[in-house]
Structure 1
Amino acid sequence: MALAIRDVREHDLDAVLALNNAAGRTILALDAAQLRFFYDRADYFRVAEIDGHIAGFLIAMREGSDYDSPNYRWFSEHYPQFVYIDRIVIANAYRRHGLGRIFYCDVNSYAEVRVPLLTCEVFLEPRDDVVVLFHGTYGFQEVGQQRMGSSGPQVSLLAKELPSYAYVRETYLDKAGLPDVPWLAERLHSSHDNNPQRRLAGARRP
């Protein structure tokens, strides 16, 4: 079994949309326009490809986006810098095999050289103790709760401190920027970034 975690490509979008909308109640449905927003704007949008098939994906956004998710807005109101995991979806055939942990390790590696916090939410209605335990063992702490809309589910808002960030900021981000190596590269997408902190974090050595 050959596994690759890679940036999404445009021709993956139909498969990603179908996977998202087959995931069940704990993943909000998307339409093609919403998925295109993520394709154009998401700072992290990677898929897991196993033997040529899309087995899962994870989408994450940094601060400063015009994304209208109530949970993303909550983090924007409380923290100046963060990476927000909007959704992770694993195909049924590949669940309970550790692919979620692989994705979380990957997005953690992306986040810890750019921001001090990795954030997300988990649904409390319906509550999935496997999901709650997964995030707790990965270092997330609850920092708040809210209801998504007047009749939406109650969610637990989670944050994980990234202790490596202070070193990276002092050693690289406050100076010449991150080294120009592939594993530190930013995803190429069409959003225009006006946030100076993010431009600094994405800087490259001359």
Structure 2
Amino acid sequence: MKLRPLVPADYASVLALNTTATGLVDPLGLDRLDWLRLIAAHAVVVEDDGRPIGFVLTFTPGSAYDGLEYGWFSATYGDRFLFVDRIVVDADRRREGVASTVYRAIERSAHPFARVVTRVRSDDPAGLTFHTDRGYVEVGKQRRADGATMSLLSKDLTD
């Protein structure tokens, strides 16, 4: 398994993977994916045997990213965070440590930021457990226009 930059040739695979996580991550179309890749701090594909099995997108403070939760983190933490917008792993490869490997890489590369932040649907016990087991704590909640409640999570990297 290796992590490598997401390139336009990956778009079809990334969009298909994102669709498998519908309800857990925001919808994603081709134009938005292309824009997010260009403004992301990390736009990474997880590849195994030459096949994309996951991807991750992160954003730094001051980016053009327009997500609701990102706005909350910006107002709360200023310029001291790295935001994980989404991480998606192929359903057949979940529970194999792929997401843990990606998070370790993100957390190691987060310097100079004091924390890594993300959001998880409050009704996603697996996602919440994954993050709390990694040391993330809930620092807020946010209700979206679609009625979903998001848990806003943060992991302090200065400990």
Give the TM bin, normalised by the shorter chain: over 0.9
* 1:16-95 → structure 2 map (5 Å cutoff): 16-80=14-78, 81-95=80-94
Check the 8 A contact 2:83/2:117 in 1, yes or no.
yes
> 1: distance between equivalents of 2:11 and 2:32?
11
Alignment correspondent of 1:157: 152
Displacement after TM superposition at 1:48 (Å): 0.7
Check the 8 A contact 2:46/2:52 in 1, yes or no.
yes
> 1: distance between equivalents of 2:116 and 2:144?
20
CA RMSD, Structure 1 to Structure 2 (Å): 1.2
Secondary structure at the residue paired with 2:109? helix
> 1: distance between equivalents of 2:125 and 2:156?
22
Provide runs of 4+ in structure 1 moved above 3 Å.
none
Among 124, 138, 144, the residue aligned to 2:134 = 138
Amino acid at match of 1:156: S
Structure that is richer in strand per residue: 2
> 1: distance between equivalents of 2:38 and 2:147?
27
Displacement after TM superposition at 1:117 (Å): 1.0
Q: TM-score, normalization: structure 2?
A: 0.95
Q: Which runs of 5+ in 2 are unaligned?
A: none
% identical aligned pairs: 33
Q: Which has the larger radius of gyration?
A: 1
Q: Which runs of 5+ in 1 are unaligned?
A: 165-206
Displacement after TM superposition at 1:128 (Å): 2.3
Check the 8 A contact 2:57/2:86 in 1, yes or no.
yes
What is the aligned residue count?
158
> 1: distance between equivalents of 2:129 and 2:28?
26
